[in-house]
Structure 1
Amino acid sequence: MPRAARIKNSDSIFHIMIRSISEISLYKEDEDKDKYLKLIKKYQGVFGFKVYGYCLMTNHGHLIIDVNGSDISKIMHGINQCYAQYFNKKYERCGHVFQDRFKSKVVYNNKYLITLSAYIHNNPLDIEEYKQCVENYKYSTLGIYLGIRNDNLEIVDDDFVMQLLNENVENARERYIKLVYKCDDKAIKADTEFTNEKSEYRSERSILIRDHDPDKIIDFVIKYTGIEKRKVHFKNNRMATESKALCVLLMRYFCNFTYKDICKVIGNLTLSRVSKLCAIGVEIIYNDEKYCNIIEDFLKSSVA
C-alpha cells in the first residue's frame, strides 16, 4: 500500500516526531543529542525555520517547528540525513538509523500548540531522577521556557508560546509549570526558581517570503563581496568560492530552490558541489563577521 502524502504548508507549524529503529538507541550519549541540536542550528541557517520547543529522549525525539515559508521535508531530510551519517560513522555501523520517515502533524491552533509543548516537556517524567524536577532535564526546552537555563545555541523562540499564556513573564511561567506537571502548587517542586531577566514576552509570527529572484541574489552577493559577476559562473574558480557559497545559501534560504535549481542558475556545478557550497555558506555567516548580517541585509535591500 502506498504511503499517504504528507500534509505540508509553507505557513504551518508542525509537531515532528522522530524515532530510531527498534534495535538501537537514537542517542546513545549526551554527545549525540548535542550533535543533533547543532544540526538543527546548522539547518536553521539554511532554511530559516523557527523552533518553538524540543525534547530529545533516548530512542525518540519531539520538535515543534514553524517552517516560516520553507518546506518541512527539506528541513528534516537535511537534519536526519546528516545525523545518520554521523551516527553510523561514530558507531561503525551501516544502514538505517531512523524508523521510517519522520512523523509530522500540523498544529492547527494556539490552544493545541500550548498543550503540545506541555506534552513534549512532560516526557522526561518517566525518568526516575526527573520525576520531581522535569525542568532540569537538559535536552528539553522546558528549562529555557522557565528561564532557569540559557539557550546557548540560540535555537528556540520560547517567547512565542509563553506569551499565549500571559505577556507577563512571571505569571506565564507559573501557569506553564502547573500545566506541565498537571497538579496544584503543593506538588510543584518548592525550589524551582525562575530567572526574571525580562518582564514581558514580545514575539510576533510572520512568514518569510521565499519567491525572490535568484539573479537579484547574485547581484546582491557580488556587490556585497566585491567580486566580478562573471567569476561566480566560472568552474573551479577558488577566488569565487566564498561568493558562490553565499549565493547558494541565499537561494536555498530565499528561493526555496533545490540543488538542481541552483545548478541551472549558476551553471558549471554538480549537485554534490552545490551541497558542499551550501555548507560552506553556513560556516561563513556563522564564523565571519563580515557576513554575519548578510541575510538581514538582503532582506533590507529587497524592500528598499
Structure 2
Amino acid sequence: MPRTAREKSYESIYHIMVRSISEVDLFKNDEDKVRYLQTVKNYQDKYNFKVYAYCLMDNHAHFIIDANGADISRIMHGINQSYAQNFNKIHNRHGHLFQDRFKSKIVDRDEYILTLSGYIHRNVEDLPYAKNNIKEYRFSSLRAYLGLEKDRFEILEEDFIMSMFGNNSQTSRENYLEFLNNCSDESIKLEVEFVGEKTEYRSERRILERDKSPEEVKEFLAEELQTAATVINLKYNRRATHFKALCVLFLSSFCNMSQKEICNYMGNITQSRISTLCKLALKLIKDDYQGIINKFIQEHYKCA
C-alpha cells in the first residue's frame, strides 16, 4: 500500500515524534541520548532549523521544530539515518532501528504550541526514575525553560515560547511553571531558579527562504576563502577541498538542492563523496570557519 503524502510547508512549525521498533530501545543509555542530540546539532548547523522544545525518552523522542524554510523530511531523514548507523555500529547490531517514518504534525496556532510544550515536558513522568522530579531529567528542554541550566547541546531557542508568558524572564518562568502544573490533574511542585544573564525574552520568528543561486554561494565562498571559484575543479588541493566541502553544505542548505542535483552541479561526483564533503564542512565551520554561515545569512537575507 503506498504511503500517504506527508503534509509539509517550508514555513511550518512541527511536532515531531521518532520511535524505535518494538524490540529495541531507541536509547540504551545516556550516551546514546547525548549522541542523538549531538546529531541534531550537526544537522541544525547544516540546515539552520530551530528547536523550541524536546524530550528524549527510552524508546521515543518528541521535538517542536521550526523548519525555518528547510525541508523537514530531509532534516529528519538525515538525523535518523546518521544516528541509526552509529547506533548499530556501537551496539553491534544490524537492521532497522526506527519504527517507520518519523511522525509529524503541523502546529498551526499558539494555543497548540503551548499545550504541546507542556505535554512534551511532562512526558518524562512516564519514566519511573524521573516521574517524581521531572526538573532533574537531563534530556529534556524543561531545565533550560526554568533557568536551571543553560542549553547544554546548544540546539534550543526557548525564547519563542517563553515570550508568550511575559517579557521578564523570571516572571515568564513562574508563569510557565504554573501553566505546566495545570497541564494535568496531578500536582508537581518545581522550584524556579534564576540562572543566566538574560532578563527579558524577545523572540521574532523569521523564515529563511532557501532560494539562493549556486552562483551566489560560490561567489561568497570564493571571497571568504580568498580564492577563485574555479578552484572547485582542482584535485588534491587542501583549499580546493575546503571550498568544495563548504559549497556542498551551502548548496544543500541555502539552495535546497538534493544530493543528486549537487552531484551534477559539482561535476558528476558520487553521492558518497557528497556525504563525506558535507561531514568535513560541518567540522570546518566549527574549527576553521566559525561564523561563516551567520555571515552569509546577514549578507544575503534582508530579514537577518
Common fold: TM-score over 0.5: yes
CA deviation after TM superposition for structure 1 residue 193, in Å: 2.7
Residues 116/280 of structure 1: CA separation in 2 closer, same or farther (3 Å cut): same
Answer yes or no: is the 8 Å Cα contact 1:178–1:188 preserved in 2. no
Deviations 1:8-40 (A, max 9, x none): 100000000111100000000000000000000
Contact 1:56 1:62 in 2 (8 A): yes
Counterpart in 2 of 1:295? 293
1:257 aligns with 2:257: yes
- The answer for the alignment partner of 2:151 in structure 1 is 151
Aligned: 1:205 with 2:205: yes
Paired with 1:146 and 1:60, the residues of 2 have a C-alpha distance of 23
- TM-score scaled to structure 1, two decimals? 0.94
**Match runs of 1:213-224 below 5 Å:** 213-224=213-224
Tell me, what secondary structure is at the counterpart of 1:240? helix
Separation in 2 of the partners of 1:178 and 1:19? 30
Contact kept, 8 Å, 2:50 with 2:67, in 1: the verdict is yes
**Residues 138-287 of structure 1 aligned to structure 2 (within 5 Å):** 138-182=138-182, 187-189=187-189, 191-195=191-195, 197-287=197-287
The residue aligned with 1:80 is 80
Alpha-carbon deviation of 1:179? Answer: 2.3
| Contact 2:18–2:61 under 8 Å retained in 1 | yes
Separation in structure 1 between the aligned mates of residue 187 and residue 181 of structure 2, nearest angstrom: 8
1:222, 1:229 within 8 Å by CA — same for their partners in 2? yes
Runs (5+) with no aligned partner, structure 2: none
Give me the whole-angstrom Cα distance separating, in 2, the residues matched to 1:187 and 1:62. 23
Counterpart Cα distance in 2 of 1:249 and 1:195: 35
What code does the residue aligned with 1:121 have? Answer: H
Q: In the aligned structure 1, how far is the partner of 2:13 from the partner of 2:183?
A: 28
- Which deviates further from its counterpart, 1-10 or 293-302? 293-302
RMSD: 1.9
* Matches of 1:193 and 1:224, distance apart in 2: 43
User: Per the alignment, do residues 284 and 183 of structure 1 end up closer, same or farther by CA in structure 2, a change over 3 Å counting?
Assistant: closer
Asked if residue 39 in structure 1 is aligned to residue 39 in structure 2, the reply is yes
Q: Which residue of 2 aligns with 1:17?
A: 17
1:116 is matched with 116
Give the conservation status (yes or no) of the 8 Å contact 1:27–1:59.
Answer: yes
Query: How many Å apart are 1:279 and its aligned residue?
Result: 1.1
Q: For residues 123 and 134 of structure 2, what CA distance do their matches in structure 1 show? A: 8
Q: Indicate how the Cα distance of structure 1 residues 199 and 80 shifts in structure 2: closer, same or farther if over 3 A, else same.
A: same
Task: Please give the per-residue CA displacement for 1:106-161, whole angstroms capped at 9, x wherever unaligned.
Answer: 00011100100110100111233433321111000000101101112210000101
Partner residue in 1 for 2:95: 95
- Structure 2 vs 1, CA of residues 301 and 128 (structure 1 numbering), >3 Å: closer, same or farther? closer
Residue 237 (structure 1) shift: 4.1
Secondary structure in 1 aligned to 2:165? coil
Q: Which amino acid aligns with 2:179?
A: L
Shift of 1:191: 4.3
The alpha carbon displacement at 1:192 in A equals: 4.4
Q: Deviations for 1:164-195, whole angstroms, at most 9, x for unmatched residues?
A: 122221222112122223279x9443644343
- Distance 1:210-1:99 versus aligned 2 partners, 3 A rule: same
Q: TM-score, normalised by structure 2?
A: 0.94
Aligned partner of 1:293: which letter? G
Q: 1:255 Cα shift?
A: 0.6
After TM superposition, give the deviation of residue 236 of structure 1 in Å. 4.8
> Is the Cα contact below 8 Å between 2:285 and 2:291 reproduced in 1?
yes
Aligned residues of 2:150 and 2:196 also touching (Cα < 8 A): no
Q: Which is further off, 216-225 or 188-197?
A: 188-197
What code does the residue aligned with 1:7 have?
E
Partners of 1:141 and 1:61 lie apart in 2 by 12
- In structure 2, the CA distance between the partners of 1:14 and 1:183, relative to structure 1 (3 Å rule), is closer
